[in-house]
Amino acid sequence: MKFKRLFNVSLILILIIMNIGCDQVSKSVIRKNIAEFEEVEVINKHLTLTKVENTGAALGFGAKFHPAVRYVTIIILPSIFLLLMLGIILSKNTFHKTTLIALTFIIGGGIGNLLDRILYGSVTDFVIIDLGFIKTGIFNMADLSVTIGALLLIFSSFLPKKSLEPSESSH
């Protein structure tokens, strides 16, 4: 049983680290190769790369806050939240696999953006998708991880719940 637990914890940490790694590598490439506000069309006008340094949270929220308030709202509170989430998923093994994967994406993406805020004072956003009928705001791979995690979490809420009761056949 200890091996299975160690395997599960290792898998959780690997998924989180992979999310952080993809985010940080992509941002590093953008920081080194694209000037701020430069636009690079990848697929016509449907996928554009442009570097923007966001000193706030999602869509710039909080960028104009007093520095102390901004520090608490975009560094301290997210750090506490991410540590609590990590502690919960590492200490409990009652989550559905889809829920667990969703939470690792949310934690990995959250840590990716948190690292940027701590190391650089801003988050590097660089992707814009324009499909004509819908256009995204500018985002990065950490944002994508959090979004995928949230969608998986919604999906997993419709999956059958694990029963905490012993099965009839075990009596």
The residues annotated as belonging to the active site are: 125, 143
Whole-angstrom Cα distance, residue 168 to residue 77? 44
Tokens of 119: 């190391």
Long-range contacts of 67-76 (CB under 8 A, 24+ apart): 74/117, 75/114, 75/117, 75/118
Whole-angstrom Cα distance, residue 23 to residue 35? 18
Q: 51, 20, 28, 36: which is closest to 128 by C-alpha?
A: 51
Q: 145, 143, 150, 138: which is closest to 47 by C-alpha?
A: 138
